[in-house]
Amino acid sequence: MALRPGDAGYEDARSGVQRAYLHEPSVAVRAGGAEDVRLAVRYAAEHGHAVAVQATGHGLNAPTEGGVLIDTAPMAGVRVDPASRTAWAAAGTRWEQVIAAAAEHGLAPLSGSSPDVGVVGYTVNGGLGLLSRTFGFAADHVRRVDLVTADGEFRSVTPDDDDGLFWALRGAGGNFGVVTGLEFDLFPVARFYGGGLYFDTELIPAVLETYREWTGTVPDRMSSSIGLIPLPDVPAVPAPLRGRHVAHVRIAYAGTVESGEELVAPLRALGPRLVENVGEMPYTASGTIHNEPKQPRNFYCANAMMSKFDASVPGAVLDLVGPGAEVFAVVQFNHLGAALAQPPAIPNAVDHRDASHVLRVVTLPQGPDRDVAHETAQTVTQAVAPWALGRSPSFLQGERDAGAQAREYYTPATFDRLAALKAVHDPENMFRCNLNVPPAKGEAASPAKGEGVAPGKDEDVSPSRPGKSIVM
């Protein structure tokens, strides 16, 4: 369905969970299937329009002004092959649907902290998951990418079909087409040891410092993060946490309960917990670890990937946005390393694998223009500048100048290779995304093996209408 400003449904099509930045397209297409996507891309190409995709979940591609916005939310569906331990998910699928389908076979995907997040955007930007130190980035385990490219054709890209494009799609996928589906690995995880420990305000400095030291001692199967969160005094917040600034340590351990208990003991020894729910749990309950809100809201996210979690960092961060700070800010440190530091079996464009931790700051701006919330988030990430390697696309929510910052998310060699591939696959820079890499100028990349890939075999199985009804 094609919608223009003023049409019923246009506002819904251009709005997501992220409300600080709204798309302003000339045409919004609610795609019911891959054929709708193909028609929308062809229309954009014929009229010289840029193309953006509305994120399914918490993120937002860099907001567009004019052009064509494709909303893939109606394209939700998942198939699980327990024999090969794989799943195929259509573009509008959220992780909660994959988790439920995989659990029927004792399997789990490499989903993140919120089951409400969309599979495609999360994965093509890398995908830092709950069990990532054990299994790596979600992008490391993609087997096939189905998409519509700038020529308006369906393609199904695998390592055998097109080495260059397959490499680029896993880490910078939004630059090369509109993904209509992904095939990826599942893992034999039905239950695991996990949960969260909430500590009160006065313990925050000790908890943060202990967490910093603790992450240098834990095994690869332990994935974790810590959040410093000012919680409002509202009924939606559990009573013990209301109105408090808390430290929330999140645990996801792919080991035995007994060894998990031993590993968490130093954290419990810090003092009483306001709330604790750490123990063995089914993977279907993994969303309760972070327990992130789903309702639409304004928010801004900045992050920095750090080569080390220096001893000076906790104090510097708390001085800026600790308890009593004037600006609301949620601060999070994720422990990286282990499998995340290892090159995948099939290389991809996910960079900065030598980072030990990533710092994330979330603030609440009043709108897309720069204000104190934007500046505060940037100031916090600048506090770790001496150890900053770059930024993580896994924690990127759009802003108007995000595309100009793409170099911060890739090494120079990766960026240059992406730009060369962009010149081959999208020379007019039709596809716009948070990490928009402009086509290389004055040179043409050599087409990779299998450039003329046949259409994907799964377009006709999207749970949708045929899509022939689009009239621009």
Tokens, residue 252: 């996801």
Residue 12's pLDDT is what? Answer: 80
Condensed to tens digits (0 to 9), the pLDDT of residues 326-374 reads: 999 999 999 999 999 999 999 999 999 999 999 999 998 877 677 898 8
E strands along 139-177, which residues? 142-148, 154-157
CA distance 362 to 443: 39
| DSSP states along 80-117 | EETTTTEEEEETT-BHHHHHHHHHTTT-B----S-TTS
Q: CA torsion sign, 318 to 323 to 325 to 328? A: positive
Residue 428 CB-half CA count within 13 A: 14
For residue 293, the model assigns a pLDDT of: 80
Could you give the CA distance from residue 91 to residue 462 in angstroms, rounded to a whole number? 9
SS3 45: helix
* Mean pLDDT on 183-210: 98
Strand 191-199 with 245-253, pairing: antiparallel
**Sign of the CA dihedral 64, 349, 148, 112?**
negative
- Average pLDDT score over residue span 193-208: 98
Residues 104-149 have pLDDT tens digits of: 999 999 999 999 999 999 999 999 999 999 999 999 999 999 999 9
Please name every residue paired with 346 in a beta bridge, in sequence order, or none if there are none: none
Residues in the chain: 472
Alpha-carbon 295 to chain mean position? 17
130, 111 Cβ separation under 8 angstroms: yes
pTM: 0.91
335 contacts 215 by C-beta, under 8 angstroms? yes
Closest CA to 140 of 157, 120, 123: 123
DSSP letter, residue 142:
E
Give the rounded percent of residues in the chain with a pLDDT score beyond 70: 88
pLDDT in tens, 444-468: 443 333 232 223 333 333 333 233 3
Per the CB < 8 A criterion, the answer to whether 252 and 338 are in contact is no
What's the helix, strand, coil split of the chain in %, to 5?
A: 30, 25, 45
Q: In terms of Cα–Cα distance, which of 25, 12, 79, 93 is closest to 53?
A: 25
CA gap 345, 348 in Å, rounded: 9
Q: How far apart are the C-alpha atoms of 397 and 55, rounded to whole Å?
A: 10
Phi-psi region for residue 329, left (φ > 0), alpha (ψ -120 to 50) or beta? beta
pLDDT over 90 at 101, yes or no: yes
Half-sphere exposure of 253 (CA within 13 A, CB side): 24
For the beta carbon of residue 392, count every other beta carbon within 10 angstroms: 24
**Residues 294-315: tens digit of each pLDDT:** 766 777 889 999 999 999 999 9
How far is C-alpha 322 from the chain's CA centre? 26
Rounded distance, CA 181 to CA 406, Å?
24
Q: pLDDT band at 84, cuts 50/70/90?
A: very high
Token couple for 125: 């930007």
Question: Does position 320 have pLDDT exceeding 80, yes or no?
Answer: yes
- Between 15 and 289, residue with greater pLDDT: 289
Distance CA 243, CA 240 (A): 9
